[in-house]
Amino acid sequence: MSDLVKSPSSSDDRTVTFGAKTILFAQQVAQRLCCHHTTVYRMAESGAIPKPINIGAKKKFAWFEDDINRYVLIRLAQSSTDLAKLGA
């Protein structure tokens, strides 16, 4: 039996898990980063966010949720530090 599980929901909000890992598609990553999905691919290409994984023959790319969460937390910490420097 496969570890890959899809949750039943709309195509934009689908959640896919592989074992204990959750996989996000470009549209979901874009929602979390408040940007367009094309920007997500550009960010990955430039190295700003982790590179996506290829999960299928139709060139379907996805990111591990943990990697995106880590990126967001790092950016928040950097923003807080930058704001503290401005206030000092």
Per-residue pLDDT of the chain (88 residues; tens, 9 = 90+): 344 444 434 444 677 887 889 999 999 999 999 999 999 999 999 999 999 999 877 778 999 999 999 999 999 888 877 767 776 5
Q: Alpha helices, DSSP H only, in the chain?
A: 26-33, 37-46, 65-87
Q: Would strands 61-64 and 53-54 be described as parallel, antiparallel, or unpaired?
A: antiparallel
8 Å CB contact between 23 and 63: yes
Q: Which residues contact 18 (CB under 8 A, 6 or more apart)?
A: 3, 4, 5
Domain count along the chain: 1
Range(s) of the domain holding residue 19? 4-87
Phi, psi of 19 (to 5 degrees): 65, -120
CATH at 10: 1.10.1660
